[in-house]
Amino acid sequence: MTEPVLYYVRHGETEWNREGRLQGQQDSVLTPRGRAQAVQSAEILRDLVTREGGDIAALDFVASPLGRARITMENLRATLGLDPADYRTDVRLAELAFGCWEGVAYPELLAREGDALAARERDKWNFAPPGGESYADLMARVGAWHATVERPSVVVAHGGTARALVALRGIVPPEKAAAFDIDQGVVYLFAAGRVTRYG
């Protein structure tokens, strides 16, 4: 069976992104740059779909329920001239949970949890922070959502969620997917067994 085309957008930059804090399933507000990245992603998406002769309004739009993804989606849809609120959320698209590490800046985490971070670097795919999830856990959750996708979709979610999709679709092995770069202000096209970055 052919996998549906996904136009994937990571949420725009947040205050915690700027401060180097792990967000996981906690939230912080988009920065002005983050809002501009949502607009930029919308313009890239419009160009991609128009070039293929597609109809943006006919795509399914789904987002993580976390605030940073919802605000990005609403800015993106408004830029496209679509009703900002006319999209679905799915809890299975929420970011990787970092447990008690959420909200902690990386230098502080390094000072406090150096051994655990070293263990994570040795096996990033299977490591779960205290009270959190591993990428393997996340892929199972994202996979349950992916199995329900029936048509080309615009997805606004997170870096971790995108890495799970990269592994789920067999684009790279899991151990490489855990370190796959997922940038803000761009669109990742998942199609034909590949992922292509635009922007």
Active-site residue list: 11, 95
Query: Are the beta carbons of 40 and 24 closer than 8 angstroms?
Result: no
CA distance 102 to 151: 34
